[in-house]
Structure 1
Amino acid sequence: MPLPAFLRHPSLVTQIVIGLIAGTLLALASPRAGAAAGLMGTLFVSALKAVAPILVLVLVAAAIANHRRGQQTGIRPVLLLYVVGTFTAALVAVIASFLFPTTLQLVLPEGIELTPPEGIGQVLNTLLMQVFDNPVNALVNANYIGLLAWGLGLGLALRHASDTTRAALSDLSDAITWVVRLVIRLAPLGIFGLVAATLAETGLSALLDYARLLAVLLGCMLFMALVGNPLIVFLRTRRNPYPLVLTCLRESGITAFFTRSSAANIPVNLELCRRMELPEETYAVSIPIGATINMAGAAITITVLAMAAVHTLGIAVDLPTALLLSLVATVGACGASGVPGGSLLLIPLACGLFGIATDLAMQVVAIGFIVGVVQDSAETALNSSTDVLFTAAAAPESPRLPPAPAGTPG
């Protein structure tokens, strides 16, 4: 009996799904072997994180240096979509928290030492300081805001360079892109290792106590991915958004879910934009920016967990306060990448709106780390896939969508 076409010539997405299934089976059959296979996942994520900073710096510099005078970059509408999408996600989370209120058992595990930011001002100050970071330090620490600033500066300066210099920079960008594509081809093995190690080492039994909380978190993220974001894209393009939405979820969301790192997924998103034939001068800047400030998933996490603390303590919430929470979650989420611990450490900031003491808020953060096995994966998948979605939606022409694997809708 001949094999189906999608198995004879499997696409990258099909290979990733096969790796996912194989990793799950290995972890269930032999947890020790699953843990050992985690090395492949660690190497894959490390390779993506290693190549991403230099890729962003060179790609941005090359795109700006070779930008033709009078040509539109299209960055402004992308940034507007980022802000609208993040604020909408926070509103969705507030509404869901009212419709499906959750309560928590606030018991702080031992050994957790966390330092939340003191306010929005500190978050924004951290974000601003990243702009003026030393370029070498920005490369070493994967500070994408700093790399963007240096890439823009170098690109503007090199616009006045000779044609030979700008061509050499473009060739360097192409060479690094080739390396990235080589790393991405290893994604099936990387996903195999990540899934096997996660199921072997953590399992999902610890999440059962927080099933309702996870249901609200994941429900909000699914709603944004399949309803909220498509509606925003439709209002922007006036076209059926779902072929584009499903493509972004399939090509970007899957890898982001398992790598759990927006930074690691930057090369994946840049490669997807290239395959969609989007303007390089747009996606070379919008994708790194999106990995930093387009944080719909983070806004949902901050809002839902803060509202869970509110319901636990029996605090009444009026409409103006709920709207203010959405705004704080939006601003905080945009600066989440500049805070150690990411979005979870911004929960005390949101809890402060309701007069909740920091000690209690930090217990909520601890619960966030427990459910983070699933929450962080879904949050990253939503954030990262939306970077490509909104970049494509803002493009002046319809993007060229990569073909779906055989048997896959969209």
Structure 2
Amino acid sequence: MKLSKIPLLGRVVIAIVSGIILGQFVPVWFARIFATFNDLFGNFLSFIIPLIILGLVAPAIGELGKGAGRLLLITTVIAYMSTLFSGFFTFFSCQAVFPNIITGAIDTGSVQGIDEGAVKTFFSIGMPPIMDVMSALILSFCIGIGLSLIKGDTLQKAFSDFRDIVTMIIRTVIIPLLPIYIFGMFLSISITGQVYSVIMLFLKVISVIFVLHILLLVIQYVVAGAISRRHPLKALKTMLPAYMTALGTASSAATIPVTLQCALNNKINPSIASFVIPLCATIHLAGSAMKIVGFSLAIMYFFGIPVDPGTFIGFIFMVGITMIAAPGVPGGAIMAAIGIIQSMLGFNEQMIGLMITVYIAVDSFGTACNVTGDGAIALIMDKWAGTSRT
């Protein structure tokens, strides 16, 4: 089988296992090759992140402002509130659990490459970004709001084309190179003797997030059932085909036909389902927000970084906005969120690498949570539309 035919998760698993095994016996010069690649790739990420933010957020805000009136506005608000709830639910739950299960901290010096035992690079090429992350966010909001208010659409089309370029870079350059980046990172971690701590972190955190995403779906359908006066567990059971399909595709967009059919099986008005399901596949990423918040918090505990609740509250609000603009490709949500993770939480390149790795390892479960939650929003909107018509 060609490597390109293997799913992204499979390539990531191969990269992790290979890095751990080879790190036990390869010479240092071999590891330095991949340390150099990681340094170049990390610098490229720093350069491209402001452009990713500008290319995704600005046109997304502009398009939302030119949508289908009240139905679009209310659906978007509900999707954003669901994502915020997911973020805060994850934050407070993990704050209660993580201090008890993440008891040891990694040696940050060896991972960051600043002590004598760390793997050094052969050379480094600076790639300074054209603007910092916060400037990109502010500029994106200004342009996006402006696009939603002006009558012409020339600039909107230009930014839509720019978004296509950014999405293409993510899909054809960043995502394919991520397994090599992850391999190099685990090769270095294995050589410096930190691999056991990292693997244990992965297993503990993934277990917690899996339980939380099941609880989140139950809460979403209990609320939707109470509003729509439907049996929540029956409605959730009807959405299981969409959940299972998303586990295989790891793409909300690719799962839309199945999600739509499940919504129709829940006796949702076809016109409402046909509008809400495709829209929420783009803007409702509660499961992805849960992973980003939970994994960020875990890595902060793991590296011994103090957690400031005030900063994290602002971070969760920004994650909700970023999820609306995330591209519909595997790993797209984490790529869109890297900027605010760096700027607001202060993550370095190695911490971002670990973040991306653990995120992609359970990417399909987050997608399954996203699309299943779309059915809950469709139930609420069906009830609202029926009430507004009467």
**TM-score, with length taken from structure 1:** 0.53
Q: 1:128-158 deviations in whole A, cap 9, x for unaligned?
A: 7899337996998899xxxxxxxxxxxxxxx
Aligned CA distance change for structure 1 residues 243 and 80 (closer, same or farther; 3 Å): farther
Cα distance in 2 for partners of 1:272, 1:389 equals: 11
Q: Of residues 80, 84, 87 in structure 2, which corresponds to 1:87?
A: 84
Cα distance in 1 for partners of 2:94, 2:355 equals: 16
Amino acid at match of 1:121: I
Which position in structure 2 is the counterpart of 1:156?
none
Which position in structure 2 is the counterpart of 1:242?
233
Which position in structure 2 is the counterpart of 1:222?
214
Q: Of residues 327, 341, 357 in structure 2, which corresponds to 1:337?
A: 327
Aligned CA distance change for structure 1 residues 341 and 133 (closer, same or farther; 3 Å): farther
Amino acid at match of 1:243: K
Q: Please tell me whether the aligned partners of residues 263 and 273 of structure 2 are also in contact (alpha carbons under 8 angstroms).
A: yes
Cα distance in 2 for partners of 1:36, 1:321 equals: 40
Q: Please tell me whether the aligned partners of residues 344 and 365 of structure 1 are also in contact (alpha carbons under 8 angstroms).
A: no
Q: Of residues 289, 298, 301 in structure 2, which corresponds to 1:311?
A: 301
Cα distance in 1 for partners of 2:272, 2:231 equals: 22
Which position in structure 2 is the counterpart of 1:54?
none
Deviation at 1:397, TM superposition (A): 9.1
After TM superposition, the structure 1 = structure 2 runs for residues 66-81 of structure 1, keeping only pairs within 5 Å, are 74-81=71-78
Helix, strand or coil for the counterpart of 1:88?
helix
Which position in structure 2 is the counterpart of 1:210?
202
Deviation at 1:384, TM superposition (A): 1.2
Deviation at 1:268, TM superposition (A): 1.9
Q: 1:293-325 deviations in whole A, cap 9, x for unaligned?
A: 101012112212222233234343344333223
Unaligned 5+ segments in structure 1 are 1-31, 40-63, 144-204, 400-410
Cα distance in 2 for partners of 1:315, 1:139 equals: 34
Helix, strand or coil for the counterpart of 1:133?
helix
Deviation at 1:258, TM superposition (A): 1.2
Amino acid at match of 1:212: K
Cα distance in 2 for partners of 1:378, 1:110 equals: 36
Q: 1:60-102 deviations in whole A, cap 9, x for unaligned?
A: xxxx9xx9xxxx9855543333122111100011112211224
Cα distance in 2 for partners of 1:392, 1:326 equals: 25
Deviation at 1:344, TM superposition (A): 1.8
Q: Please tell me whether the aligned partners of residues 262 and 384 of structure 1 are also in contact (alpha carbons under 8 angstroms).
A: yes
Amino acid at match of 1:366: G
1:133 correspondence with 2:157: yes
Cα distance in 1 for partners of 2:162, 2:339 equals: 28
Amino acid at match of 1:81: I
Aligned CA distance change for structure 1 residues 142 and 118 (closer, same or farther; 3 Å): closer
Deviation at 1:37, TM superposition (A): 9.5
Q: Of residues 352, 360, 368 in structure 2, which corresponds to 1:381?
A: 368
Q: Of residues 292, 316, 333 in structure 2, which corresponds to 1:326?
A: 316
Q: Please tell me whether the aligned partners of residues 270 and 287 of structure 1 are also in contact (alpha carbons under 8 angstroms).
A: yes
Cα distance in 2 for partners of 1:317, 1:372 equals: 20
Cα distance in 2 for partners of 1:255, 1:285 equals: 20
Cα distance in 2 for partners of 1:368, 1:229 equals: 26
Which position in structure 2 is the counterpart of 1:118?
133
Give percent identity, aligned residues only.
18
Aligned CA distance change for structure 1 residues 207 and 223 (closer, same or farther; 3 Å): farther
Aligned CA distance change for structure 1 residues 241 and 379 (closer, same or farther; 3 Å): same
Deviation at 1:370, TM superposition (A): 2.5
Structure 1 outlier segments of 4+, above 6 Å? 34-39, 108-111, 113-117, 125-131, 134-143
Cα distance in 1 for partners of 2:331, 2:361 equals: 16
Aligned CA distance change for structure 1 residues 104 and 229 (closer, same or farther; 3 Å): farther
Deviation at 1:260, TM superposition (A): 0.4
Q: Please tell me whether the aligned partners of residues 257 and 378 of structure 1 are also in contact (alpha carbons under 8 angstroms).
A: yes
Q: Please tell me whether the aligned partners of residues 309 and 351 of structure 1 are also in contact (alpha carbons under 8 angstroms).
A: no
Q: Please tell me whether the aligned partners of residues 73 and 281 of structure 1 are also in contact (alpha carbons under 8 angstroms).
A: no
Q: 1:154-200 deviations in whole A, cap 9, x for unaligned?
A: xxxxxxxxxxxxxxxxxxxxxxxxxxxxxxxxxxxxxxxxxxxxxxx
**TM-score, with length taken from structure 2:** 0.56
Cα distance in 2 for partners of 1:216, 1:83 equals: 23
Which position in structure 1 is the counterpart of 2:245?
255
Deviation at 1:253, TM superposition (A): 0.7
Aligned CA distance change for structure 1 residues 267 and 86 (closer, same or farther; 3 Å): same
Unaligned 5+ segments in structure 2 are 8-66, 113-118, 168-195
After TM superposition, the structure 1 = structure 2 runs for residues 222-301 of structure 1, keeping only pairs within 5 Å, are 222-226=214-218, 228-248=219-239, 250-301=240-291
Helix, strand or coil for the counterpart of 1:395?
helix
Amino acid at match of 1:325: F
Cα distance in 2 for partners of 1:390, 1:118 equals: 32
Cα distance in 1 for partners of 2:141, 2:268 equals: 31
Cα distance in 2 for partners of 1:337, 1:110 equals: 34
CA RMSD of aligned residues (A): 4.5
Helix, strand or coil for the counterpart of 1:316?
coil
Q: Please tell me whether the aligned partners of residues 250 and 367 of structure 2 are also in contact (alpha carbons under 8 angstroms).
A: yes
Q: How many positions carry a matched residue from both structures?
A: 270
Cα distance in 1 for partners of 2:368, 2:294 equals: 18
